Structure 1
Amino acid sequence: MQFAGFTLRNNLFVAPMAGVTDRPFRQLCKKLGAGVAVSEMVTSNSLLYGSEKTQRRANHEGEVDPISVQIAGADPAMMAEAARHNADRGAQIIDINMGCPAKKVCNVMAGSALMQDEALVARILNAVVKAVPHTPVTLKFRTGWNQDNRNAPVIARIAEDCGIQAIAIHGRTRADQYRGDAEYDTIAHVKTLVRIPVIANGDITTPQKARQVLEYTGADGIMIGRAAQGRPWIFREIEHFLATGEVLPPPLVSEINQVCREHLTDLYAFYGDERGVKIARKHISWYTKGLVGSAAFRRTMNQIPDIPAQLAAVDEFFGRLAEADLRLSYETEPAQELAA
């Protein structure tokens, strides 16, 4: 896929997720089949550029191209400066966050709250595009602020007019948060209105659903967030299915153990021992979800204080299941036909 000046291996994107899409997770998803992985959102407040949290989120050392950094804020000048700051430090794509529904983000009129003010949206997009003329800028947003105000088509036109090179749309409004089912009619409509690439996001959990959403919306690519937590191999599964029509078998438990262990090792190195152990707990929880005995294991694992004991517990848990050479099976609802 040609995207923002880059030739990608496919049209599969990792959605930016705060507290999840750090460098270790992005690298892992790219290794397992994702074409692009967008960073956690980085603040546009220059006073926080030097903070440990912001510097870690902007750490791309050794990351496979393209490096896409998402910035968040509500002030055009600050957003422009944030774009320049990150482009100077290795960002090859600047992504603008207008999709986050979190209260602490929306309460400062950032994230999806910006969709209420279309004039401000235009000022921000213009400022950022002009600030980094040699770096492509993309935009992620939702279908609207609420069910009565689905203005994604208007935002999409503004984005194209301002020089945004691609857009990603989550199939829910800000008011929906993550409740209910994502709807794809709005995304399909937007696709008919703009010439820039449109990426569909929301509730894409299987290879079959990925193909269904691509066909229904006409989107140029798909973006996956929560479905990749503890299941980063979903990208290779979708890539294989879209290319061949064949469904790959679920990974062996022994492979899950290996992927999980490598991920944990990278987390320890990235965050340091104490912080790494704490960050690792949520990923271990996701990797073990759905496996026999996982609930009891997670309760015990969350009390383990150090790296050697954490790794030993993970190996022991997966080792018991791997003796039978088991494959992980996910309980998923049958893919429903999308309403015409």
Structure 2
Amino acid sequence: MDLRIFTEPQQGASYDTLLSVAKATEDLGFDAFYRSDHYLVMGDSDGLPGPTDAWITLAGLARETSRIRLGTLMTAATFRLPGPLAIQVAQVDAMSGGRIELGLGSGWYGEEHSAYGIPFPREKFGRLEEQLEIITGLWGTPVGEKFQFEGTHYQLKDSPALPKPAQPKVPVLIGGLGKVRTPRLAARFADEFNIPFASLDDTRAQFARVRAAAEEHGRSADELVYSNALVACVGKDDAEVARRAAAIGREVEELKENGLAGSPAEVVDKIGRFAEAGTSRIYFQILDLGDLDHLELIAREVGTQLS
């Protein structure tokens, strides 16, 4: 089981805070550091000191880490044009020595678009599909050849399709619980399919849809990595679990039902049940970024039992 750290910096985190978490992620043996791509706080937090840009953050971390994978859950297709995004990701991949992964979604949070003057089109899924075609097409075009694209939302003519990523192929993540279009999109473009904050039953059902769509598309379903992102709240005893739950404004029992919460043994057991459902990678959503002892506990008491 791959274990990764997933952060939500829009809730309030500076670059220096994210750097501390990323370095702890690397030092403690986790597989990857991921972050959300949002520009507006959610809920009651004041969000101070304000948002950080996902790809600027990852560019910095690319130069200040050496082993861990780095990526987004998920970059919003509404935030960036596909050509510049392909350039950004390829450049950051080169800066990291080939450790970047791209999670790309349609975008959903209307308020952050209006807060920062970002267009929020009604038809988002079609734009996402075209962005995936363009980004993977640009990266896959042989050096010296030109890339063309004529779509409903985007048109590219005589693109040199440069630069190329350092990796032969940047892994692409697609996720969500859409029952028809999302599995089909994953079958065409995804190296990994991620389900955020879902139950075991929903996980089993959605993985089955994606596996079926992959086979229909002519791919082996086992070509894809299947993963879950779940909020983490782990403690060495009940008091520590309760303290960590209170720090993120959540209730222990709700977290145990919907996330990865409780003692290390409880969390290991629940991850085992996700493994039985087909999960091979877990993203621990860490909401209190100042609590690096939390990461150390997960690494020492959970990670060592799942390696």
TM-score, normalised by the number of residues in structure 1: 0.43
Question: Whose radius of gyration is greater, 1 or 2?
Answer: 1
Compare the two structures and name the one with the higher strand fraction.
2
TM-score, normalised by the number of residues in structure 2: 0.47
Say which structure, 1 or 2, has more relative contact order (CA 8 Å, 6+ apart): 2
